[in-house]
Amino acid sequence: MGFLDKAKEKASHLAGEAKGKIDEVKDKRKADDLLDDLGRIVFRQRTERAEAGDEAEIVRLVDELRALEAEGTEVVAPATPATPAADDTTPPPPPPPPPPAGAPTVS
């Protein structure tokens, strides 16, 4: 295999990888748009401003999101454990008890 053949093969491989990444980004953006639409409808419903056809639209959006998931798109990131906020008002734990009387002290 000559140098040009190897270069062609490598270029073709890189082009395929780039297309895959572009498709992945497009699918993720589509999922984000669908989730935004779904959120707006749910917000309308929860604030007593529901519109006719909202339930059918929710079903359609969820079906599209499920199809994207089935194709391998991460629609909702996995849950992560909650970390306390910086302004958390939970008091610190109590200090350890003092050593028993007569125990040697460590400095």
Q: Does residue 20 register a pLDDT over 80?
A: yes
Measured CA angle at 27 (ends 36, 25), to 5 deg: 105
Q: What percent of the chain has pLDDT over 90?
A: 48
Domain coordinates in residue numbering, the chain: 24-76
Q: Does residue 43 register a pLDDT over 70?
A: yes
Q: Which amino acid is at 57?
A: E
pLDDT digits (tens, 9 = 90+) for 45-70: 999 999 999 999 999 999 999 999 99
pLDDT of 105:
63
Average pLDDT, the chain: 86
Across the range 14-22, mean pLDDT stands at 88
Q: Does residue 88 register a pLDDT over 70?
A: no
pLDDT of 83:
65
Q: Does residue 81 register a pLDDT over 80?
A: no
Across the range 2-20, mean pLDDT stands at 86
CB 65 within 8 Å of CB 75: yes
Rounded to whole angstroms, the Cα distance separating 1 from 48 reads: 69
